Structure 1
Amino acid sequence: MTTPLNRESWLATLRQQVEEIPPVEALARQARGALLIDVREDDERATGLATGALGISRGFLELRIEQQEPSRDRQVLLMCGSGQRSLLAAEALQRMGYTQVASVAGGFGRWKTEGLPVSAGTLDTDAAERYARQLRLPQVGQAGQAKLGQAKVALLGAGGLGAPAALYLAAAGIGQLTLIDDDRVERSNLHRQVVHADARVGMLKTESARMALNALNPRINVVPYSERLQAHNVERLLQGHDLVVDGSDNFPARYLIAAAVQRLRLPMIYGAVERFTGQVSVFDPRRVDSPCYRCLFPEPPAAADAPNCSEAGVLGVLPGIVGLLQATEALKLILGIGEPLVGRLLSFDTLGMRFRETRLPRDPQCPGCGPQAQFTGYEDIVQWCAAAG
């Protein structure tokens, strides 16, 4: 256990090994070519940092310093919040062979108190606190959070899949969530559509969801469209977004979405549930190797083979799991991280608690994305689905 006495002794030892300089001296050395590094976490730097400082969190300093400054002879100045973490960071760089290292006494707090130049952070205080744990991820950071804040996501359906997906996308800080659904909240929805509440039974789902999402995160913009997705409005509702989360519950809507995202070049995050099983995939027409929805379902199955939840039933937690997987894929696509479910179909069985991944290649004969595919209009798709059903 570290006692105050032990901590003071440790700091005293570090101060014997590391040069400490006041902020005004650090500013002067910076002007003469020294590299100033702020080793605070991303969420701490989000509200501001010393002008000209490079931000590298303490935990990643040893991993990234050589990329930023390969020369061991350049002056490197370390700054933290109060001047203690920077001592440890400076000592670590000395062990790596950096010969001119110093710690800024008093850290950023003293730098600001002395009125030295500060650059505004990309996030305000509320955002820095709200997204603090997310900002700590090197794959996100301030730059990633800015991408999320600029993103526009269309959610088809504010029901079983759309509800959990919308909640977590809102919590993550997606700039605009567009909700498209013409239904009203029913009491039978509540066991799985967790964005709604008993007091809002009878309300339009888009309005009920908007209230919940803005209560969770008032920073985001929720745009409700209480319209049924149809041939005449599908492109109008989807254009201008970065991606589409498919939470629809019928095949005509899915085929309309599939055709529209091909034409608008938008990724479609597909999800579906039935009884105790669900599946998720990503169809991204921007990628030459990506299949489309019609590679998976060239034609609509018969109604008897694909009953909806009101007919077949569904375990309440299942849409939550699938909706969260869809939200995860959306965040990955926006941030440009990880491996999206393109060309892969992820299936989930709640009773066996098993995930199974199936390869889903692009079909060269696909009527939706193949070289011979022809678009003859959305009305034709609606009529074709009606005839097939």
Structure 2
Amino acid sequence: MTSLNRDSWLESLRASVSEISPADALARQAQGGLLIDVRDDGERASGTPAGAIGLSRGFLELRIEQLEADRQRPIIALCGSGQRSLLAAEALQRMGYRSVSSVAGGFQRWKAEGLPVALGSFDSDAAERYARQLQLPQVGEAGQLKLASAKVVLLGAGGLGAPAALYLAAAGVGQLTLIDDDRVERSNLHRQVIHADARVGMYKTESARITLAGLNPRVRVDVRNERLQSSNVEDLLAGHDLVIDGADNFPARYLVAAASQRLRLPMVYGAVERFSGQASVFDPRRGDSPCYRCLFPEPPSAAEAPNCSEAGVLGVLPGIVGLLQATEALKLILGIGEPLVGRLLIFDALDMQFREIRLPRDPGCPGCGEHAIFAGYQDIAELCASAG
């Protein structure tokens, strides 16, 4: 577009759209008008007019009705210099909004006139990194801040913990604590995608930390090269918002289940074997939630439930179940959707089928039932040892 054509185009827009000064925009906002900052997320990171709603120009027509369905409410569009807001205002007029105006001079003039500015919640890196997630109405800036302040502990940096940790870090969960005392083996690599061949022999937690730091350096990764035991389980889990169960043995899983009950910590459960997997959520904060022992009151024997090294597993299967766990964790942190509480999701990779089984709370459960007695973590460990 030549400068002459561009000027002509701007003049035609100005003829059809009302332009107002930043001061007038502020006054209309005070009277109930909706001020929309149509700049991109990265541009708004340095600040936005106080009280303005951020909605990028490219998504305006798609999302404006979710934001404001009342066609009579006054809407004021603002951009960086006042040109994109003219386009935005024209688009809103075409959609039937009756009282639309554009701020002449945009945010540059708004700041120059000393009008109130709210500092962006995110710097430019965060605004760009989480741009697609911030566009979701169920997340937005408020949800992203929830993720940034969340602390998730992952039991195991292996088959389930690897994919879960990758996507939780990518989503911007503020702190991930990895608990695992194993070292990377070459036989792990077909499913534990957080590790690399060059890191065989390294602690899994440290190998995972390297990958996560490369993926998202904003996330804090704490490593605990310890085996979960009756003497340390509560100390390792305390202070977190939820625990992701990626254990490969029943003693650790029963200890986590007991500690999560006592700490009122949601436990996101996952398990895999050969070509099948399952997932659920046990949330002691909810009165209707079962616990892990409602599903398995007593630990099965090693013969009844072999681990992956004994039974084998299709490499992609832990990835699928681990991502289901990460999804449930994000939902719990954000407070959106319906978590897998009271439901056991079963996946069969060979038939590519999901089945859901209702899992009600058991009034006689030894872990959370009416007459449940917590005897101690040592007793739970001994119970599992006797079953093995």
Name which of structure 1's ranges 218-227 and 356-365 shifts more when overlaid on structure 2: 356-365
Post-superposition CA distance 1:173-230 (Å, at most 9, x none): 1100000001111111111111111111111111111111111111111000000000
Q: Is the 8 A contact 1:192 1:317 kept in 2?
A: yes
Cα separation, 1, equivalents of 2:334 and 2:31: 37
Cα shift at 1:23: 3.5
Structure 2 Cα separation of the partners of residues 331 and 32 of structure 1: 38
Q: Structure 1: how far apart are the matches of 2:204 and 2:148?
A: 24
Relative distance call for 1:161 and 1:13 in structure 2 (3 A) is same
Quick one: structure 1 residues 85 and 289, their matched pair in 2 at CA, closer, same or farther if it must change by over 3 Å?
Answer: farther
State the alpha-carbon separation in 1 of the partners of residues 137 and 81 from structure 2: 23
What CA distance in whole angstroms lies between the structure 1 residues aligned with 2:348 and 2:164? Answer: 19
Secondary structure of 2:336's aligned partner: coil
Match of 2:68 in 1: 65
Note the C-alpha offset of 1:81.
3.9
Amino acid of the residue matched to residue 351 of structure 1? Answer: L
Write the mapping of 1:109-124 to structure 2, written as runs, cut at 5 A.
109-112=108-111, 116-124=115-123
**3-state SS, counterpart of residue 366 of structure 1:** coil
Residues of 2 paired with 1:14 and 1:202: CA distance?
66
Asked if 1 retains the 8 angstrom alpha-carbon contact of 2:153 and 2:237, the reply is yes
Residue 300 (1) aligns with residue 299 (2): yes
8 Å CA contact 1:274, 1:308 repeated in 2: yes
Q: How does 1:263-282 map to 2 (within 5 A)?
A: 263-282=262-281
Cα drift, residue 39 of structure 1: 3.4
Residue of structure 2 equivalent to 1:283: 282
SS of 1:318's equivalent?
helix
Output aligned runs, 1:1-389, within 5 Å.
12-23=11-22, 25-27=24-26, 35-40=34-39, 42=41, 44-56=43-55, 58=60, 59-66=62-69, 72=72, 75-91=74-90, 94=93, 100-112=99-111, 116-389=115-388
- Measure the CA separation in 2 of the matches of 1:213 and 1:190: 16
SS at match of 2:278: strand
Deviations 1:260-288 (A, max 9, x none): 00000011000001011111111111111
Which structure 1 segments of 5+ residues have no match? none
Is the CA contact (8 Å cut-off) linking 1:47 and 1:128 kept in structure 2? no
Q: Equivalents in 2 of 1:7, 1:308: separation in Å?
A: 68
SS of 1:305 mapped into structure 2:
coil
Deviation for aligned residue 1:300: 1.1
CA distance in 2, matches of 1:32, 1:283: 47
Query: 1:36: how far off?
Result: 2.7
Report how far residue 14 of structure 1 moved: 3.8
CA distance in 2, matches of 1:309, 1:318: 11
Contact 1:39/1:61, CA 8 A, preserved across alignment:
no
Q: Give the drift of 1:64.
A: 2.3
TM-score (norm 2): 0.91
CA separation of 1:275 and 1:118: change in aligned 2, threshold 3 A? same
Q: What SS does the aligned partner of 2:270 have?
A: strand
The structural deviation recorded for 1:303 is 1.0
Change (3 A) 1:189 1:78: same
Distance 1:46 1:289, change over 3 A: farther
Structure 1 residues 374 and 9: alpha-carbon distance in aligned structure 2, compared to 1, 3 A threshold: farther
Instruction: Describe the shift of the 1:307–1:38 C-alpha distance in structure 2 as closer, same or farther (beyond 3 A).
Output: same
Q: For structure 2, list consecutive stretches of 5 or more residues without a partner in the other structure.
A: none
Q: Give yes or no for contact 1:46–1:142 (8 Å, CA) kept in 2.
A: no
* Cα distance in structure 2, aligned partners of 1:12 and 1:41: 24
Task: Output the CA distance in 2 between the equivalents of 1:7 and 1:357.
Answer: 59
> Is the Cα contact below 8 Å between 2:33 and 2:75 reproduced in 1?
yes
Amino acid in structure 2 at the alignment position of 1:347: I
The residue identity in structure 2 corresponding to 1:119 is A
TM-score (norm 1): 0.90
Q: Residue by residue, what CA displacement relative to the aligned partner does 1:75-112 show, whole Å, maximum 9, x if unpaired?
A: 54221344344334434555677654311134335544
The offset of 1:360, in angstroms, is 1.0
SS at match of 2:221: strand
- For residues 26 and 292 of structure 2, the distance between their equivalents in structure 1, rounded to whole angstroms, comes to 57
Q: Tell me the amino acid that sits aligned with residue 243 of structure 2.
A: V
Aligned-residue offset at 1:138: 1.1
What is the deviation of 1:387?
A: 1.3
Aligned length: 384
Q: Pick closer, same or farther for the CA change 1:21–1:228 going to 2, 3 Å.
A: same
- Shift, 1:54, TM fit: 3.4
Q: Distance in 2 between matches of 1:198 and 1:4?
A: 57
Contact 1:42 1:142 in 2 (8 A): no
Distance 1:316 1:85 in 2: 49
CA, structure 1 residues 117+345, in 2 after alignment: closer, same or farther (shift >3 Å)?
same
Alpha-carbon separation, structure 1, partners of 2:27 and 2:11: 26
For residues 6 and 293 of structure 1, what CA distance do their matches in structure 2 show? 68
Letter in 2 for 1:279: Q
Q: Percent identity?
A: 75
